[in-house]
Amino acid sequence: MGSIKEAVYDEKHVVLAEMLKALGHPARLAIVEFLLETSTCMCGDIVDYLPLSQATVSQHLKALKVAGIIQGTIEGNRICYCLNPDALEGVMSYLTPLNKQLSRINKNCC
């Protein structure tokens, strides 16, 4: 988003849009699901799990980390990644009311 357009939106909308954008790739969704199942892991575990190269997985991990969806700690020459619950709760606090409102929408309107 350009700086002129960003000024029109709340900071929460800009942050949420960045998180949703980061989640908008199947490999990144697979990484999030993997981290949910394992609670924490090393980058090598993720590379073994996905049919992608180390470099590609690293790019996806970086996008998720920049968006705040995951966090990582350095342990020697390895980085341990885990989910950022606060970020995911922020996404869910936006999507849950939308889901509830969908039940009230006339499904035959268009």
The answer to whether residues 48 and 63 touch, using CB atoms and an 8 Å cutoff, is: no
Please tell us whether the domain made up of 3-97 is placed in CATH 3.40.50.2000. no
User: Burial of 8 by CB count in 10 Å (0-12 exposed, 13-18 middle, 19+ buried)?
Assistant: exposed
Least Cα distance to 44 among 28, 61, 69, 24 occurs for 61
- Of 72 and 61, the one with more pLDDT: 61
Three-class SS state of 60: helix
Q: 73 has which bridge partners?
A: 80
Residue 91: both structure tokens together: 């996404």
pLDDT tens-digit series, residues 32-69: 999 999 876 767 788 888 999 989 999 999 999 999 99
The ranges assigned to domains in the chain are 3-97
Q: What is the mean pLDDT of residues 13-22?
A: 93
Q: What percent of the chain has pLDDT over 90?
A: 45
The average confidence (pLDDT) of the chain is 86
Q: What is the pTM of this model?
A: 0.81
| Helix ranges (DSSP H) in 1-110 | 3-6, 11-22, 26-38, 43-49, 54-66, 85-102
